[in-house]
Structure 1
């Protein structure tokens, strides 16, 4: 009986010292939050998205040796495109109606990351989301970068839902920057 208790205590200690490892799967779906407006477009607005990123966003390592890898479960290209189209419609645009040639709005999701570093026993997480945009309309080409960054501090491993909420807030903030750029809006009118 004593050997069982000793074995159990040693096993538990080993688990605590080794830390725990897990995987967080999140869905990144930015939400466009713009003021409804009466903007109109003369030309069709063609929105396309691309990325060289894969589903791995990053990983977490805490001060108490907990570990987690973070992956997206959805197609980020599709979710950004849907969010931008929804925002354009709320602004009053009708992207699928108008004259040709279309205004071409190309969006490259260039960064989506979650990195951590340990400072003493706290974990400092840096979240980043970045879009590179090229708009060709009215015989002009406009290029812009929109990025957002957020820093969070944790004592222990954050919950999967908290990571998802933080990444979605950051992605939404970035999409909203694109949708509120006066140069974009002027060229789309």
Structure 2
């Protein structure tokens, strides 16, 4: 009986020292925050997205030895494309209407990360989201990079919803920067 209690105590102690390990699944759905204006386009606007990233966003390790891996559950390429098209329509563009050859807006999701480091018992998280774009229109090619970064501090493991909200805020800011670029607007008009 004493051996069972000792074994149980040691097992529980080991679990507490090992920390908790979990997985957070998030959905990235950026929302462009653009002004409704009466812009119009002469040419069809093709929007394509690509990425070499996997669905692994990053991981968390807290000062009290909690651990979590973060993965996306949706197709980030499709959600960024949908957000850009929605923003263009809100600005007054009609991407599917116009003459050919089309204006070709290629967007690469080049970075989507959530990394942490421990400072004493505090966890410092760095969140990053970046897009690389190439726009070919009116006989010109325009290339630009857009990125957003956010730093958060935690005492314990952040909730899955908080991580999803923070990553969506970054993705939304980045898509908004792309759609607010005067060079992009000029070439699409």
Q: Report the TM-score when normalising by structure 2.
A: 0.97
What residue is the counterpart of 2:90 in the other structure? 90
What residue is the counterpart of 2:185 in the other structure? 185
Please list every run of 5 or more consecutive structure 2 residues that lacks an aligned counterpart in the other structure. Answer: none
Q: Secondary structure at the match of 2:109?
A: strand
What residue is the counterpart of 2:123 in the other structure? 123
What residue is the counterpart of 1:78 in the other structure? 78
Q: Secondary structure at the match of 2:38?
A: coil
Distance 1:32 1:173 in 2: 7
Distance 2:18 2:33 in 1: 44
**Residue 82 of structure 1: CA displacement?**
0.1
Q: Secondary structure at the match of 1:186?
A: helix
What residue is the counterpart of 2:67 in the other structure? 67
Distance 1:18 1:131 in 2: 37
**Residue 13 of structure 1: CA displacement?**
1.6
**Residue 33 of structure 1: CA displacement?**
1.2
Q: Secondary structure at the match of 2:16?
A: helix
What residue is the counterpart of 1:164 in the other structure? 164
Q: Write the mapping of 1:128-167 to structure 2, written as runs, cut at 5 A.
A: 128-167=128-167
Root-mean-square deviation (CA, aligned residues, Å) is 1.1
Size of the aligned set, in residue pairs, is: 189
Q: Secondary structure at the match of 1:92?
A: coil
Q: Write the mapping of 1:108-119 to structure 2, written as runs, cut at 5 A.
A: 108-119=108-119
Distance 1:169 1:19 in 2: 29
Distance 2:90 2:57 in 1: 30
